[in-house]
A and B are shown apart, each in its own frame.
Chain A
Amino acid sequence: SSELTQDPAVSVALGQTVRITCQGDSLRSFYASWYQQKPGQAPVLVIYGKNNRPSGIPDRFSGSSSGNTASLTITGAQAEDESDYYCNSRDNSGDHVFGTGTKVTVL
């Protein structure tokens, strides 16, 4: 089955920019979507498709993709952005796969 690999943890100073990456073969064919999850809560979709934000998601969140790597960038990180972030994509068999997750700490 497909796998998506993320860095376990990253930190960012308040107001600075952080990029979270997600690597996997399925990303050569399918866009990643990105989910934010705070402790004890269900995940929330923050980026989908080429670089689209659902209604209500701040424009400091953006996405990009190149080859087998997708990225989520938070420009001007806020304290409330401290969360776990997961990428997700489908693969050629129609299955979905989640990334291993990245814990973002805002300093």
Chain B
Amino acid sequence: QVQLVQSGAEVKKPGASVKVSCRASGYTFTNYYIHWVRQAPGQGLEWMGIINPSSQKFQGRVTVTRDTSTSTVYMELTSLRSEDTAVYYCAREGDYDTSGYSFDYWGQGTLVTVSS
């Protein structure tokens, strides 16, 4: 079965960086795009960007890399600020037939806390 398993919670100081991993299993990793979504405490969902086999689209302080040998995507956020405190999710963009290119599988989420 398809699974996206993310790394554990992190506590970081302002100005530091954090790297969150998302390991995929149960499907052909290179055939699907991965998105990142975050959710600040008590707030709504915020789309951060997308990585596909040939390109990526993220803004600002985010860098995303893929390791096809381990079917893992890494999202690094630099120069952390208190407002970056959130749960970070990876999500797979599914097939047109079964999901209309929607986010059909999600990781369990990783809480990143930025505090001095």
Interface residues of A (CB under 8 A from B): 31, 33, 35, 37, 42-45, 48-49, 52, 54-55, 86, 88, 90, 94-101
Contact = CB atoms under 8 A, between A and B. Distances in A.
Contacts of A55: 98
Contact of B45 (A31, A49, A54, A101): A101
Contacts of A33: 99-100, 102-103
Nearest to B35: A96
Which one of B57, B99, B102 has the highest number of Cβ atoms from chain A below 10 Å of its Cβ? B102
Interface of B: 35, 37, 44-47, 50, 57, 89, 91, 98-104, 106-109
A43 B106 contact: yes
Contact of B99 (A42, A43, A54, A101): A54
Which one of A43, A52, A88, A95 has the highest number of Cβ atoms from chain B below 10 Å of its Cβ? A43
Contacts of B89: 42-43
Contacts of A101: 44-45
A48 B99 contact: yes
21 contacts: A33-B102, A35-B45, A35-B103, A37-B45, A42-B106, A42-B109, A43-B89, A43-B106, A44-B106, A48-B100, A48-B102, A52-B100, A55-B98, A86-B44, A94-B57, A96-B47, A98-B44, A98-B46, A98-B47, A100-B44, A101-B45
B103 A88 contact: yes
A59 B103 CA distance: 19
B104 A54 contact: yes
A49 B46 CA distance: 21
A45 B44 contact: no
